[in-house]
Amino acid sequence: MKKHTQCVHSGTYNDPGTKGVNTPIFTSSSFEYMDLPENVYPRYNNTPNQKAVINKLCALENAEDGLIFSSGMAAISTAIFSLLSKGDHIVLQKDIYGGTHHFATAEFDRFGIPYDFVSNQLEEIEKAVRNNTRIIYIETPSNPLLLITDIQAVADYARSKQILTIIDNTFATPINQNPLDLGIDMVIHSGTKYIGGHGDICCGAILSSKALMTGIKATAANLGGSLNATTCYLIERSLKTLGIRVERQNQNGMSIAKYLQGHSCVKRVYYPGLKSHPDFEIAQKQMRAFGGMVSFELDDKKVDQHQFLNKLKMVRPALSLGGVETIVCVPVVTSHEKMTPAERRDLGITDTLLRLSVGIEDADDIMADIEQAM
């Protein structure tokens, strides 16, 4: 099956009792055990609603196995605490989601996990690798500057060194990019974003091989970040339209990036689908399309950022991303507020950087709102 068909059909639980075309919501946290091959329990991540979502995501990411979680951070923390032991070293790309960055700086030392943050360039990653490096962790397109990491190059290098690779594929979604096909060992999603897609769900996912998921599942049951049946059902419903939503966001993202690039009040635009993006060629190679995230800087001599945000009528200044409605945020006070000013400066995350999450509205209406606010 191709992507849109997988979105609709993969994983659906066919209810033999009612013959309904959709997966029913099984609210039980208590399941009989006498006649079943395994004990079923929500925290073991094996209820029918959890499995339906997991199977759909596995189909979309070409994964053998996977798990869903109650948040993206539950997925990230479970993956890392499952794969690393005291003394194991991890190399992380430094321009990643602020919460992941903070997870490392706030927690790793206490557990005796040495770590290094490096740029997304393979030479820098190679330089940071030590004898005890067990994981290379990347994110592409990255949050918030939409930098592109060469997935295949990192995966090939890591395999040659027997180092595991993890990628945060939240921004690309499985519609635009399938990192497991390029040799990455493990894909992580914050399903709170495009997978949920309507700004009303918090969840996460890990997709990988059967072998690696065995350990992840055992740790997941211990850490306990499992997801309830009702939210699983909502995700399954959301995923049916993931393909058409993201296609639309790809189109809108490109239109708005071009509009902003040509605007006299805009100093700089970050969008991997623009020829002016430094990693345009790598993006072309590994992505089917470039997504709905567009970051930009206003010319502060011409537009006051605070006034601009206040003047927007339809586009709301809001946290999170990936929903059907266009929202905008200032990473310095939202997703990346816990980074030190020095860390942000090093990355190029300026106080005037704006991150736009383009929705599925008509592009003309989004641009008209931005135009009147500028």
Ligand X SMILES: *Cc1c(COP(=O)(O)O)cnc(C)c1O
Q: How far is the CB of 75 from ligand X (least distance, A)?
A: 8
Q: Does 202 bind ligand X (CB under 6 A)?
A: yes
| H, E, C per residue of 49-88 | HHHHHHHHHHHHHCCCEEEEECCHHHHHHHHHHHHCCCCC
Say how far apart CA 4 and CA 18 lie, in whole Å: 26
Q: How far is the CB of 318 from ligand X (least distance, A)?
A: 13
Q: How far is the CB of 94 from ligand X (least distance, A)?
A: 14
Q: What number of H helices and E strands is found in the chain?
A: 14, 12
Q: Which is nearer to ligand X, 179 or 204 (CB)?
A: 204
Among the listed ranges 20-28, 92-100, 285-293, 308-316, the one in contact with ligand X (CB under 6 A) is 92-100
Residue 287 contacts residue 172 (beta carbons within 8 Å): yes
Q: Which is nearer to ligand X, 134 or 193 (CB)?
A: 193
CB atoms within 10 A of CB 312: 17
Whether 193 is a known active-site residue: answer yes
Among the listed ranges 23-31, 167-175, 178-186, 265-273, the one in contact with ligand X (CB under 6 A) is 167-175
Q: How far is the CB of 204 from ligand X (least distance, A)?
A: 5
| H, E, C per residue of 200-256 | CCCCEEEEECHHHHHHHHHHHHHHCCCCCHHHHHHHHHHHHCHHHHHHHHHHHHHHH
Residue of 65, 77, 97, 360 that binds ligand X (CB under 6 A): 97
Q: Which is nearer to ligand X, 209 or 320 (CB)?
A: 320
Q: Which residues, in sequence order, are bridge partners of residue 66?
A: 207
For the chain, what is the radius of gyration of the CA atoms?
A: 21
| 268-287 positions binding ligand X, by CB under 6 A | none
Whether 168 is a known active-site residue: answer yes
Whether 159 is a known active-site residue: answer no
Residue tagged active-site, from 15, 43, 88, 299: 43
Residue tagged active-site, from 97, 259, 270, 271: 97
Residue of 165, 192, 208, 226 that binds ligand X (CB under 6 A): 192
Say how far apart CA 60 and CA 54 lie, in whole Å: 10
Q: Which residues contact 106 (CB under 8 A, 6 or more apart)?
A: none
Q: How far is the CB of 21 from ligand X (least distance, A)?
A: 29
CB atoms within 10 A of CB 32: 9
Q: Does 72 bind ligand X (CB under 6 A)?
A: yes
Q: Does 121 bind ligand X (CB under 6 A)?
A: no
Say how far apart CA 227 and CA 367 lie, in whole Å: 37
Q: Which is nearer to ligand X, 192 or 259 (CB)?
A: 192
Residue tagged active-site, from 168, 185, 279, 369: 168
Residue of 10, 71, 334, 352 that binds ligand X (CB under 6 A): 71
Q: Does 145 bind ligand X (CB under 6 A)?
A: no
Residue of 61, 65, 95, 168 that binds ligand X (CB under 6 A): 168
Residue of 66, 174, 197, 204 that binds ligand X (CB under 6 A): 204
Q: Does 73 bind ligand X (CB under 6 A)?
A: yes
Q: Which residue type is seen at 154? A: V
Q: Does 99 bind ligand X (CB under 6 A)?
A: yes
Q: Does 190 bind ligand X (CB under 6 A)?
A: yes
Q: Which long-range contacts (CB under 8 A, 24 or more apart) does 253-259 make?
A: 253/290, 253/291, 253/292, 253/293, 253/294, 253/358, 254/290, 255/363, 255/367, 256/294, 256/356, 256/358, 256/363, 256/366, 256/367, 256/370, 257/294, 259/367, 259/370
What is the size of the binding site for ligand X (CB under 6 A)?
16
Q: Is 42 exposed, middle or buried (0-12, 13-18, 19+ CB in 10 A)?
A: buried
Active-site residue set: 43, 97, 168, 193
Residues at the contact surface with ligand X, assessed by CB under 6 A: 71-73, 97, 99-100, 139, 143, 168, 170-171, 190, 192-193, 202, 204
